[in-house]
Amino acid sequence: MKSQTLQHKNAFGKLLMSVGLFILVGILFNPLQAQTEPITVKGIVKDINGPLDGVSIYLKGSKAGTVSKANGNFTFPNQLSSGDVLIFSYLGYKKESIVIDKDSTFIELTMTEEAIDVLSAPNTNLPYKSKRRRSN
Amino acid sequence: MVRRFFLLGFLIISLQISSAQSQDFESIDFKKADQLALQNRGAKLDDMPELVYNLTNDLETDVERFRAIYLWVCTNVKNDYGLYAKNKRKRNRFKDDSLKLEAWNEKFAKKIFSTLLRRKRTICTGYAYTVKSLCQLANIDCEIVNGFGKPSSGNPEDLEEPNHSWNAVKLDGKWYLSDPTWASGIQDPETGRFKFNYNDGLFLVSPQLFAINHFPIEQRWFLMDSIPTFDAFVNAPIIYNDAYKLLSNHISPQRLYNEIKRDSSLSIDYELKPNINAENVTLTIDDGNTTYNRLPDTVEQNNNSINIKYKLKKRGFYDIHLRIDDLLIATYVVRVIP
C-alpha cells in the first residue's frame, strides 16, 4: 500500500515536471515574445504633389517624436514595439495614425488635405448704427 | 465600516450631482491650465504634438486640457484683417459660380494654412481649425461649426452667405460651444490692426445667448431644443462681445427694430450669469442728431433675472445702446409713434 502511494507520488511529480517544462518552453519560444523585439521605423511622408517637409511624427501617449525632412524622409528616434501607435500630424492635413507591427520597418504614407470652407467675420466693438434713421 | 463606505459612496454621488448642476464646470479651477497656456506663449505651430504635450500633459481633466489649448490659441493667433477682406471680396464675387468659389476656396485654404504656420495669423476658420487640430492630438472630440456670425458693425440683413466658424467640443459626454475668433481680440476695421484682448465670456458659452449672434448651418449645433428661425436671427438685437461676460441669456426685446407708443417704456430682460450684480446700468441714446447718456427709469434684479425699463417721451427714431458696468451689452432701435 505504502509503495503504491509512493509510485503515485512519483508519477504526479513527473507530470508536474513535464507540465512545467512545457510552460517554460512555451514562454521561451513564444511567438508573442518574438513580436516585442524592438523595431526601428523609417519612412517617407507625402501628399499627392510629392514629399511633405515638416510633418510631426510622434509616439502616441509620449513626447517621443520627430519631424520629416525636406525630402519627406524620417527615422523615428526611438525603437518601437509591436502595437505602438505613430501619429502623423501636419497643419492643413488630416491626422493619421499607424499601428506598428513587426513589418512596419518602412512606412510610406500619403496624407490628404483637410477640406475646409474658409469663412471669416471679425467682430468689432463699434456701436451699431441703424440704417433707417435719416429717413425718419 | 459598512456604514462608512455607504456614507462615502453617498458623498461621492452627491458631489457628482452637485457639480453637474453648478453650471457644469464651475467647481474646476482653471489656474493651472491658464498658467500652461501662458508658459507656452510664443510657441510655434510647426510641431503641434509637442505643443499639445506641453499644454496638456500635466492636466487631469479634459475640460482643463481643452481650456489650455483654447486659451493658447486665443492668446497666440492673430486675426488677419487683410486675409479677411480678400476672402470676403472673392467669395462675394464668386457667390453665384460654385466652380470658381470652390477653386478659390481650395487656393485660399492653402494660403490660410501657410500664413497660420509661418506667422500665426488667420481668420475665423483658422482659429476653429487650430483648436480642433490641437484637440484631436489631445484626444478631445472637437468640431468646426460653420455658419453665420452677426458682428456689431454692418447691416444684419446683408447676411446672405455663411461667414463665420467656431467650435463645438465634447466634454464628459456633453457638447459645448466656444468662439475662439471673437474671444481673441478686437479688430479695428479702419486701421486693420488687431489687438489681443482675451474675452473669457466666449468660453463654453450658454447656447441660448450664443444663438443671438451665431446661426450654424447644421441645426444640431444650436445645442438647443427650440431652434430660432433665420429670420428671427437676422432681426434679433445686436449684442456685443462684452455681453458674454455678464449674460447667460438675452430674453427681450427679441428684435433689433422696435416700435412703441409715446410715453411707453422699452422693457429689457436678461438672465445674468451667477454672482453678477448689475448695479450700474446706463443708456447711450442717439436720436439722429445728438447722442446723450441716460439712466434707466427702473432696474430690477431678482436673483439672476434683470429687468430694465426706460420711458420714451418724444416721437422719434432712437438707437439705444445699453451698458452694464461700462461694458457695452446690446443695442436696440426704437421708433416712437404717437
CATH of the domain at A99: 2.60.40.1120
- Do B125 and A129 count as a contact with CB atoms less than 8 A apart? no
A&B contacts, CB < 8 Å? 150
Where along chain B do the CATH 2.60.40.10 domains lie? 251-337
What nine digits make up the cell of A31?
A: 511567438
Q: Which residue has the higher pLDDT, B183 or A4?
A: B183
Categorize the per-residue pLDDT at B334 as very low, low, confident or very high, splitting at 50, 70 and 90.
very high
Question: What is the structure's pLDDT at A26?
Answer: 54
Q: Are residues A59 and A79 in the same domain?
A: yes
Q: Are residues A99 and A48 in the same domain?
A: yes
Query: In this model, does residue A115 exceed pLDDT 90?
Result: no
Q: How far is B25 from chain A (nearest CA, A)?
A: 26
Task: For residue A64, give its domain range.
Answer: 37-110
Bridge partners, B323 (sequence order): B282, B328
Pairing of the two strands A42-47 and A106-110: parallel
Identify the DSSP state of B209: H
**What pTM does this model have?**
0.77
In a domain, residue A133? The reply is no
**What burial class does residue A51 get, using C-beta atoms within 10 Å of its C-beta: 0-12 exposed, 13-18 middle, 19+ buried?**
middle
Mean pLDDT, range B157-168, rounded to an integer: 85
In a domain, residue A115? The reply is no
In a domain, residue A136? The reply is no
A128/B contact by beta carbon, under 8 A: yes
**CB-CB neighbors (< 8 A) of A119 in chain B:** 87, 123-125, 146, 162-165
Q: Are residues A46 and A60 in the same domain?
A: yes
Where along chain B do the CATH 3.10.620 domains lie? 28-236
Categorize the per-residue pLDDT at B325 as very low, low, confident or very high, splitting at 50, 70 and 90.
very high
What nine digits make up the cell of B43?
A: 510657441
Q: Are residues A27 and A46 in the same domain?
A: no
What nine digits make up the cell of B49?
A: 504634438
**Window 55-114 of B, Cβ < 8 Å to A:** 57, 79, 81, 83-84, 87-88, 105, 108-110, 112-113
Categorize the per-residue pLDDT at B114 as very low, low, confident or very high, splitting at 50, 70 and 90.
confident
In a domain, residue A116? The reply is no
A118/B contact by beta carbon, under 8 A: yes
Please give the CATH number for the structural domain made up of B251-337: 2.60.40.10
pLDDT single digits (tens) A79-95: 999 999 999 988 778 88
Categorize the per-residue pLDDT at B24 as very low, low, confident or very high, splitting at 50, 70 and 90.
confident
Query: In this model, does residue B21 exceed pLDDT 50?
Result: no
Question: What is the structure's pLDDT at B99?
Answer: 85
- Do B123 and A119 count as a contact with CB atoms less than 8 A apart? yes
Q: How far is CA B308 from CA B273, B281, B284, in A?
A: 16, 8, 14
Question: What is the structure's pLDDT at B4?
Answer: 47
Q: Are residues A62 and A97 in the same domain?
A: yes
Query: In this model, does residue B210 exceed pLDDT 80?
Result: yes
A103/B contact by beta carbon, under 8 A: no
**CATH class of domain segment(s) B28-236:** alpha beta
Q: Are residues A54 and A105 in the same domain?
A: yes
Q: How far is B224 from chain A (nearest CA, A)?
A: 23
Query: 10 Å Cβ neighbour count for B327?
Result: 17
Most confident of A93-97, B10-14, B57-61, B155-159: B57-61
- Do A124 and B46 count as a contact with CB atoms less than 8 A apart? no
Domain count, chain A: 2
Q: Are residues A19 and A82 in the same domain?
A: no
Asked which of A26-40, B99-113, B143-157 is least confident by mean pLDDT, the reply is: A26-40
Three-class SS state of B270 = strand
Q: Are residues A106 and A45 in the same domain?
A: yes
Percentage of chain A beyond pLDDT 70 is 66
B189/A contact by beta carbon, under 8 A: yes
List the single best residue of B73, B124, B159 to mutate versus A (max A Cβ within 10 A).
B124
Q: Are residues A21 and A44 in the same domain?
A: no
Q: Which residue has the higher pLDDT, B116 or B299?
A: B299
Q: Taking CA atoms, what residue in A is nearest to B187?
A: A124
In a domain, residue A123? The reply is no
Q: Which residue has the higher pLDDT, A58 or B221?
A: B221
Which residue reads 439705444 in cell numbers?
B320
Pairing of the two strands B247-252 and B298-302: unpaired
Distance CA A61, CA B291 (A): 59
| ipTM for the complex shown | 0.75
Q: Are residues A28 and A91 in the same domain?
A: no
pLDDT single digits (tens) B216-266: 999 999 999 999 999 999 999 999 999 999 999 999 999 999 999 999 999
Q: Are residues A78 and A106 in the same domain?
A: yes
- Do A136 and B117 count as a contact with CB atoms less than 8 A apart? no
- Do A130 and B45 count as a contact with CB atoms less than 8 A apart? no
What is the sign, positive or negative, of the torsion defined by CA atoms of B319, B159, B328, B276?
positive
B45/A contact by beta carbon, under 8 A: yes
| CB B203 within 8 Å of CB B178 | yes
Query: In this model, does residue B10 exceed pLDDT 60?
Result: no
Closest by Cα among A35, A40, A38, A36 to A105? A40
Q: Are residues A41 and A29 in the same domain?
A: no
In a domain, residue A12? The reply is yes
pLDDT single digits (tens) B38-67: 999 999 888 889 999 999 999 999 999 999
